[in-house]
Each structure stands twice: as C-alpha cells, then as structure tokens.
Amino acid sequence: MKILCLLVLAAAILQPVYAQETNSEIESKIIAMEKAWNQAFKYRDAKAVDALLDEKVVLVNDDGSLLSKSAFLAIIREAKASDEEQVTPESIAVHVVSGVAIATGVFRAKGVEGGKPYVRHNRFVDTWVNKNGTWVCISASATPVLH
C-alpha cells in the first residue's frame, strides 16, 4: 500500500510541465474568444455565446442591471440579427494570474434603439477560468465611458 501511495505521489509530482498553456497562449486564446463573443452577439448566435459563458456567469450591464445566463441568451434569441448593429472591441488586454484570465478593454456598440441610431463606448472587465480544459467566462461587466 505504501508503494502504491508513493507511485501515485511520484506520478503527480513528475507530470509533464509542457501540458500547461503559457500566459501568452492564454492571452491570445482569450482575445480570440472575446472577439468571437462580439461576432456571435452581432449575429444573434445564442449557441456560440452559450458555449463561452459559465452556467453561473455574473453579467453586469452598462446600466448596472444584473442578468443571468438564461436571461442574456433569451435576449439574444429574441432579437433579430442586424448588419447595422455592431459591437467592436477598440482595445483588449488580458492579464493572467494563477489560472484566471482578466480581459479588460473598450468596445463600441452601434445600433438602432426605438428607431433612433446610437453609438456607445463602454469599458469592460471579463473574468475567464479554465474548467476541465475549456476557458469560460464567469463574470462580465460593462461601464459607460462618458468622456
């Protein structure tokens, strides 16, 4: 029994380091996922957005309201896709700390609301974690940039 415990311990300690992603690889992956989220939102692809969000994601809108994942996906499903509507990231930076990736940046949202066109600038902070080999967003918030 002691030999088995020692073998298990040795195997855990000697796991290859090459299987881990580098911070640079994680940053590139998260930036690509942020851009994919924007495209999926534009084209109302709820299935693609669903795959990017954790089941218990916390979503904070730019008006301060909170949305559950199901409520956010319902909004996407109920709206029609529009070429006029766009969410374009103007900057994205990713910081990786202890297996958590924090994406920050600014995006421009353009569309039509109540028959009137609008353009909004928002700063965002999205938190991503790797769950079972897949990166998912566990928290997302947006704040209007007023200056």
Residue 41 resides in a domain: yes
What residue type is 63 in one-letter code? D
Residue 109 resides in a domain: yes
Q: Residue-wise pLDDT tens for the chain (147 aa)?
A: 444 333 333 333 334 433 588 999 999 999 999 999 988 988 889 999 999 999 999 999 988 999 999 999 998 898 876 655 677 788 999 999 988 999 999 998 888 878 888 888 999 999 999 999 999 999 999 999 987
What pLDDT score was predicted for residue 131? 95
Residue 26 resides in a domain: yes
Residue 9 resides in a domain: no
Contact 84, 112 (CB under 8 A): yes
Residue 8 resides in a domain: no
What residue type is 64 in one-letter code? G
Residue 82 resides in a domain: yes
What pLDDT score was predicted for residue 81? 66
What pLDDT score was predicted for residue 2? 41
Helix locations, the chain, DSSP H: 2-13, 23-42, 46-52, 69-78
What pLDDT score was predicted for residue 9? 34
What pLDDT score was predicted for residue 72? 94
127 — phi, psi (to 5°)?
A: -110, 125
What pLDDT score was predicted for residue 20? 80
Q: What are the C-alpha distances in Å from 3 to residues 9, 12, 38, 119?
A: 10, 14, 53, 66
Residue 96 resides in a domain: yes
Classify residue 131 as exposed, middle or buried by CB count within 10 Å of its CB (0-12, 13-18, 19+).
Answer: exposed
Residue 13 resides in a domain: no
Q: Which domain holds residue 74?
A: 21-144
Count of domains in the chain? 1
Indicate which CATH number applies to the domain containing 67. 3.10.450.50
